[in-house]
Amino acid sequence: MEPPCVHITTYGCQMNQLDAELVAEVLRASGARLAADADEADVLLFLTCSVRGHAEDRVFSNIGALKARKQREPDLIIGLLGCMAQQYGPALRRRAPLVDLVCAPGRLAELPDLIVEARRGRRPVALDPVRTEGGPETLAKADEALDRAEVRRPLCGSSPGQAYVVAVRGCDNFCSYCVVPHVRGPERSRAPSAILDEVRRLVGQGARQITLLGQAVNQYAAVEGGRRWDLADLLQAAAETPDLARLAFITNHPRAFDERLAAVFRNVSKVCSYLHMPAQSGSDAVLARMNRRYTAAEYLDRVAMVRQARPDVAVASDFIVGFPGETPADFEATMDLVRRARASAAFVFKYSPRPGTMAAERYPDDVPAEEKRRRHAALLALVEEISGEENAKFVGRRVRVFVEDLAPRPKLNERGRPGDRLNGGVQLRGRTPCNRIVVFDGPPCLVGAEVDVEVKHSSPLTLFGSIENPGARRA
Ligand code: SAM
Ligand code: SF4
């Protein structure tokens, strides 16, 4: 059998982006070729997300569009991986009959064998033991296989110099709207030694910024070497890695944010001035129905705690608008929370009932679509307004920028719209330690390095600056 030529399409969160790197490396190590263009591949893999109905619909529609190609090329293998695989299991085939191979998030290390099986016409389905069968030992075995695959994975992230590292897998919070605990299994923290080894290895390969990942990363809890580790311990230890410039961690659950983590912002300079801590709502009644287990006042206390430790921290959040029973007054409470927290970035989602979740079973989806759209737009506009005000404070200042990539074409003007105002050279895009996007003219060799930039203009989403002596500033 010829080695397969594989194309991967990825949907969803950072955890999926990291899983895509892992899949690519596991397949490469097994002799497969990876194709940038789906038309060249004979195995098409879809790494999917189940968090909202819309994300699932896109996957079903993209797979459905392959019908004619599958008829022309009967040997073409279509694989559906990740959260949707776990959510639907073999039942997926009813809605997506073209799918030959189904593989859940914890079984990705087995993909080379699953592809061989699929090419022999066996249509394999590999699901996680998760919460139903198998128990903790089976789950631990699957995690070990993923950890071994991580060790093989060279730095291959989309932005040179930046890498994600898993700290916590799964989730036990069971927010009433959320499918993640059902598809990614129970919360388990990786051993600190495995994480720290991975950080050192990635920095040895050139990473300068590491982001630790977990659905509630600040619930990290491990026992190793006769001691307990929490996220504060882990960040302190990781920050000692020589040549590592920046350390970030996402996502934080407000209930678990404590003084120890706030102290890390005060004491560990490599930790970025950026706290992604989703509030989801500013109404206590809605938060209770969401099973978030904190109040709006407690959320704001946590924000005050971190700002006391590091005044320039940028707070980013997620919100769901149109949750069942959300009244106009509840929504106003959310707007109020955003104003008080001065949240300068937010992912805002319209509520989408997910099968099997408590909210879908208990509460009717009773906020009309038009009202969800209105609240979505109003909340985004408010966050953009705050972000614009915060960005304007940077004009005239010098900021340290981690250069991620070339800026997208065409060049952006100082309102952040496509334009041609900044002429000459290549336009680069990077981020401040508080995660603000900065674009400036400079040589491509700066990608993956840190550089000082003078901020000249700002827009709500972008800072525009310049460097004095581009050639001499690679740090
Ligand atoms: N673990 C993270 C946390 O606790 O905030 C995020 C998990 S989820 C992958 C990312 C975001 O999707 C959530 O913060 C929430 O705002 C949104 N989300 C989750 N379930 C949703 C649903 N049923 N409808 C709309 N948005 C949803
Ligand atoms: Fe979902 Fe809540 Fe877990 Fe985040 S903390 S993954 S929103 S259940």
Q: Max alpha carbon distance in the chain (Å)?
A: 64
pLDDT of 3: 94
Q: Is the CB of 178 under 6 A from ligand 2?
A: yes
Best mutation site among 17, 52, 217, 318 for ligand 1 pocket (most ligand atoms within 8 Å of CB): 318
pLDDT of 131: 64
Distance in Å, CA 170 to ligand 2 centroid: 9
pLDDT of 135: 66
Q: Which ligand is nearest to the CA of 367?
A: 1
> CA-to-CA distance for 80 and 474, rounded, in angstroms?
42
pLDDT of 473: 46
Which residues sit with their C-beta closer than 6 Å to ligand 1? 13, 51-52, 177-178, 180, 215-216, 251, 253, 278, 280, 318, 320, 349, 351-352, 354
> What one-character-per-residue DSSP string does 322-352 give?
S-TT--HHHHHHHHHHHHHHT--EEEEEE--
H or E element: which one contains 307?
Answer: helix 296-309
Strands 5-10 and 43-48 turn out to be: parallel
> CA-to-CA distance for 419 and 14, rounded, in angstroms?
30
Q: Is the CB of 22 under 6 A from ligand 2?
A: no
Strands 462-466 and 450-458 turn out to be: antiparallel
Name the nearest CA neighbour of 251 among 414, 70, 385, 51: 51
Best mutation site among 83, 168, 291, 349 for ligand 1 pocket (most ligand atoms within 8 Å of CB): 349
Per-residue pLDDT of the chain in tens (475 residues, 90 and over written 9): 899 999 999 999 899 999 999 899 999 999 999 999 999 999 999 999 999 999 999 999 999 999 999 999 999 999 999 999 999 998 998 999 999 999 999 899 999 999 999 999 999 999 987 665 656 777 788 888 888 877 777 776 667 789 999 999 999 999 999 999 999 989 999 999 999 999 999 999 999 999 999 999 999 999 999 999 999 999 999 999 999 999 999 999 999 999 999 999 999 999 999 999 999 999 999 999 999 999 999 999 999 999 999 999 999 999 999 999 999 999 999 999 999 999 999 999 999 999 999 999 999 999 999 999 999 999 999 999 999 999 999 999 999 999 998 887 656 665 556 554 444 568 999 999 999 999 999 999 999 899 999 999 999 999 999 997 655 444 4
Distance in Å, CA 250 to ligand 2 centroid: 12
Distance in Å, CA 188 to ligand 2 centroid: 14
Which residue has the CA at smallest separation from atom 1 of ligand 1? 215
In DSSP terms, which residues pair with 315 in a beta bridge? 275
The minimum-distance atom of ligand 1 relative to the CA of 215 is 1
The secondary structure of residue 57, as a DSSP letter, is: H
The minimum-distance atom of ligand 2 relative to the CA of 251 is 4
Distance in Å, CA 375 to ligand 1 centroid: 17
Q: Is the CB of 215 under 6 A from ligand 2?
A: yes
Residue 445 C-beta-side C-alpha neighbours within 13 Å: 6
- Go through the chain and tell me how many residues it has: 475
- pTM, entire model: 0.93
Which residue has the CA at smallest separation from atom 9 of ligand 1? 51
> CA-to-CA distance for 9 and 7, rounded, in angstroms?
7
The minimum-distance atom of ligand 1 relative to the CA of 354 is 23
